[in-house]
Amino acid sequence: MIELDTEQATARQWFEHLRDLICAEFEAIEREAGSDAAFDYIAWDRVDPSGEPGGGGVRGVMKGRVFEKVGVNVSTVGGTFEGEFGKTIHGAGDDPRFFATGISLVAHMANPHVPAVHMNCRFLVTTKRWFGGGADLNPPLPIAEDTGDFHATLQAACNAHDASYYPRFKKWADDYFYIPHRQVHRGVGGIFFDHVEGDFATNFAFVQDVGRAFLDAFPRIVRRRMLDAFTEADVQAMREWRGRYAEFNLVYDRGTLFGLKTGGNIDAILMSLPPVASWS
């Protein structure tokens, strides 16, 4: 087990608490739909390249009537970056030692009218300390009301801390969640931020509010759409859209690369991939 300082332990505890809140809410939605689906939790351990204990995490997955597949993972890892990869990480160019703790969530929905979603928040320590994360909505069949609701909730959370956050982090999400070889965005956006450093308490409060905003907005959207009628054509459109989502996560996603480069749990890293996808 890796040793944590006060800030590291505080961040870890919050991410695990947020996981518990989110999973409870998603299971409640399944109950409302007449399903007894629940999360299965699988713990995993990581060994650092040095041979020392390198932390680990817990992978949580649920497959239900509303959530065709949802993964909610928490991890706390540390050790030393291997090779040249550390030079690409903020603050690790001259010292490859690192610590990272966070939550990562991806939900693929059974009803094409319910948007898929991604959310993650993380705290990293190299020679610097910073938070990163965000949330973005990924509807196969976009609905303006849901997009507006999601963005308005995130904007309110951002504005409570800094009026510049939402426009800056929204643009960052628009630029980041883009598939160059398709020349399309992955979804309808949200916010994305990285290297938020400085006063720990201030930045931690912001990251907590991002988590709370997600927990406020997304379940509300799910309940609004989960009983909507849909057609086979809608399902096929969703599966083709999922193919684009998979392409982004396998080719461009930073989190996927970080997990693979740091010896993370493969099943947890690839839990973002949809259960069924197609390419026309």
pLDDT, tens digit, 9 for 90 and up, residues 155-205: 999 999 999 999 999 999 999 999 999 999 999 999 999 999 999 999 999
Higher pLDDT among residues 254 and 188, named by residue: 188
Mean pLDDT, the chain, rounded, equals 95
pLDDT for 144 beyond 90: yes
pLDDT for 279 beyond 80: yes
pLDDT at res. 85: 84
Q: Which residues of 121-138 are buried (b: 16+ CB within 10 A; e: fewer)?
A: bbbbbbeebbbbbbbbbb
| Model confidence band, residue 115 (pLDDT cutoffs 50, 70, 90) | very high
User: Which tens digits make up the pLDDT trace of 63-111?
Assistant: 999 999 999 999 999 999 888 887 888 888 889 999 999 999 999 999 9
pLDDT for 51 beyond 90: no
pLDDT at res. 257: 84
pLDDT for 280 beyond 80: no
Between CA 1 and CA 10 the distance in angstroms is 16
pLDDT at res. 11: 98
Task: Please provide residue 272's backbone torsions phi and psi, each rounded to the nearest 5 degrees.
Answer: -70, -15
pLDDT for 1 beyond 80: no
pLDDT at res. 271: 86
Among candidate residues 108, 113, 118, 185, the one labeled active-site is 118
- Does domain 6-272 bear CATH number 3.40.50.300? no
Closest CA to 239 of 69, 73, 23: 69
Query: Is 118 one of the annotated active-site residues of the chain?
Result: yes
| Model confidence band, residue 258 (pLDDT cutoffs 50, 70, 90) | confident
Domain ranges of the chain: 6-272
pLDDT at res. 84: 80
Task: Please provide residue 142's backbone torsions phi and psi, each rounded to the nearest 5 degrees.
Answer: -60, 140
pLDDT for 57 beyond 90: yes
Please return the burial class of 230, using the count of CB atoms within 10 Å of its CB with bins 0-12, 13-18 and 19+. middle
Residue range 27-41: mean pLDDT, rounded? 98
pLDDT at res. 268: 84
Residue range 202-209: mean pLDDT, rounded? 98
CA 221 to chain centre: 17
Residue range 131-149: mean pLDDT, rounded? 98
